[in-house]
Amino acid sequence: DQQVKQNSPSLSVQEGRISILNCDYTNSMFDYFLWYKKYPAEGPTFLISISSIKDKNEDGRFTVFLNKSAKHLSLHIVPSQPGDSAVYFCAASEKGAQKLVFGQGTRLTINP
Amino acid sequence: KAGVTQTPRYLIKTRGQQVTLSCSPISGHRSVSWYQQTPGQGLQFLFEYFSETQRNKGNFPGRFSGRQFSNSRSEMNVSTLELGDSALYLCASSPGQAFAKNIQYFGAGTRLSVL
């Protein structure tokens, strides 16, 4: 039972354009959501997070949007840069719990 | 501040052996979580320790165990290794208190190959 789903295994975007990565969840008890970026042979690096009481959080080029009624969140990267090429994971946790439930990841490729 | 440190980075073992992996969290972090990453199953939660006590456990067999020391450093142990245990094992740390944001910071991982 996959509680967090990233339905696009890969995404290719031109440098300078917007990258939009999507994530859906099924567990209504999730109240905190995070995005991580991962390069091969490295651990995931935290990018940005959002609490369920908000619908948007912004940090520089990265913005996360949360639609609780649709159980959907998305990560926007503007403008996309070659260094953004990596695998992006969406993760979620229940209130007070340290356990993160991860999606399967989306491989983002930024083309020059 | 130093990040999460995992040792060793690479390990090769044979079926039936056991293995111990080590993790040093970010200074001041009291929660340490372990995850397994495989191509087929993705990133899966193994267990979490806080103040030397296991607080959460994922759906893994009893061959997978862990512990945490008073300085928050953690070890995980896998006994009677199977081929399917070949994976990247990731450790993550966070402050761990209920009022703190649950942002977990990951180490580089230990790549375990079981032959």
Q: Would you tell me which residues 67-106 of chain A have a C-beta closer than 8 angstroms to some C-beta of chain B?
A: 89, 91, 93, 96-105
Residue type at B33? S
Backbone angles phi, psi at A46, to 5 degrees: -65, 135
Between A96 and A30, the higher pLDDT residue = A30
Residues 1-60 of A with CB under 8 A from B: 32, 34, 36, 41-46, 49, 51
Phi-psi region of A105 (alpha: psi -120 to 50; beta: other; left: phi over 0): left
The answer on pLDDT for B111 being more than 70 is: yes
Percent of chain B topping pLDDT 70: 97
Nearest Cβ partner for A102 among B42, B48, B103: B42
- One-character DSSP codes across B16-55: T--EEEEEEPPTT--EEEEEEEETTTEEEEEEEEETTEEE
Cα separation, A48 vs B109, whole angstroms: 21
pLDDT at B1: 66
Give yes or no for a contact between B24 and B83, defined as CB atoms under 8 angstroms apart. Answer: no
User: What was the pLDDT predicted at B24?
Assistant: 98
Which of A33, A41, A50 has its CA nearest to residue A89?
A33
Cβ <8 Å between A104 and B42: yes
pLDDT value of residue A38: 94
Q: What is the pLDDT of residue B43?
A: 93
Average pLDDT of the residues in B55-83:
96
CA dihedral A95, A45, B12, B23 (to 10 degrees): -60
Which residues on chain B are in Cβ contact (under 8 Å) with A100?
33, 35, 43, 45, 92, 102, 104
pLDDT at position B96 over 80: no
pLDDT band, residue B99 (cuts 50/70/90): low
Mean pLDDT of B83-97: 93
Question: What mean pLDDT is reported for chain B?
Answer: 93
Q: What is the pLDDT of residues A39-95, one digit of tens each?
A: 988 899 999 999 999 999 999 999 999 999 999 999 999 999 999 999 999 999 998
**Predicted pLDDT of residue A9:** 95
Among B43, B44, B102, the residue with its CB nearest the CB of A93 is B102
CB atoms within 10 A of CB B21: 21
At A84, give phi and psi (nearest 5°): -80, -10
Contacts of B41 (CB under 8 A, 6+ apart): none
| Res. B4: pLDDT tops 80 | yes
Taking CB atoms and an 8 Å limit, are A98 and B104 in contact across chains?
Answer: yes
Model confidence at B56: pLDDT above 70? yes
- pLDDT per residue as tens digits for the range B33-43: 999 999 888 89
The residue in chain B having the minimum alpha-carbon distance to the alpha carbon of residue A100 is: B45
Confidence of residue B98 (pLDDT cuts 50, 70, 90): low
B48 contacts A98 by C-beta, under 8 angstroms: yes
What is the least distance, in Å, from the CA of A44 to any CA of chain B? 6
**Positive or negative: CA dihedral B107, B23, B86, B111:** positive
Helix/strand/coil for B85: helix
Other CB atoms within 10 Å distance of the CB of residue A27: 14
Task: Establish if A62 touches chain B: CB-CB under 8 angstroms.
Answer: no
